[in-house]
Structure 1
């Protein structure tokens, strides 16, 4: 299937961002003279990957050409992509079917009720663009002002980057925010041209200097569980564990459950 123009632009931006992060020394090349570009030159990457420099230039320019699995594997190896980045590269190159745009239909009543059943553990369900589709009282209390606007769905990405209280609640704000943006970037790459992602990302860029600075880095990451330190009223910074479950028939909709990991972290 031919790649769409938006998808080719995404592939171009991704390749360029990763090429600029690899230094000649990292791949055993001598640093010679003044370099006008950070990282590897296109011809250096092509040489190391065993492909034509002209052909690679066309690929990075977003021309409508198709790379084989072998070429993508070689590029991923030279660029030192991790598992998620490699999967993202193959997705953008058209080697995996792009996910269909998620319909903005409401959750089934029995699904929307799940966070309520998990009270007093904070729990919510988010969609692919981080809209909060269902939540319980504990989640509302843990993330103040998340459920605020009556004219549009609450959105976790919007809360993290545009709601001032988030920087106080999320103790390790910068690494957490970088991770969230990387996960949003991954999801947006699965939906090239989807206006829902474009609108959200434009809003975040306009309102957050961090998003404007970090978005061109093209970090990607899959949704996952983990640990997070959150500041709770009267308790200080508390360690929470959180687990993410994807809905069986709508895998981009995710149930997230938090549990107190123990005593206040200080």
Structure 2
């Protein structure tokens, strides 16, 4: 088995004299990068595989060809779902000031993917190299245009609610009910719905839609059929799953994943 590249030496990435530095990494299945932070902002592009990234009370599922923007100083951890490869660009804090102040998943244009492949190949001491300067300038221009995608999954703080959410992520089903969740948490329906929304910012229905996407995206990105994924998740038909997918992400699965999933 090919050993993964070691995690980056965070101080060296933060301290390089270049305003934007890059790094490529490969990770073994289920590898975990523990909680850490960078002085710089990080644009983390998943080139292959899928990563589950946590920061505070929020989780992000980042499939291949998508990126997570991590603002400067944000503590975060990563878990790889299958063999995973990434390209990262680290931006000086003053260059990151125009980008979101919270972590978020970004859609990545073909141009940005090509630029990320170039920046990770640059030597850290590229200095006044004109081509390197143009690559960095174009990255800064393009990153501000990347669209934010609704792929965050906030997790409640309260232990009983968090346990129910973890169980659902492990085995999602659209047929679960608020009453069952409230009963399992030993709460009234009203108290449960109020607490859940206060702690996640979402209704249970909206949260479960996001969680279903978390379960579906790695499988679809790996090439599994929409039909198989939809039925395994408990949807009555592929059309019902596709409707949910389009409502949340704005496109049907095949188009969203660039043709990687088949019906």
| TM-score, L = length of structure 1 | 0.24
| TM-score, L = length of structure 2 | 0.25
Higher helix share: 1
Higher strand share: 2
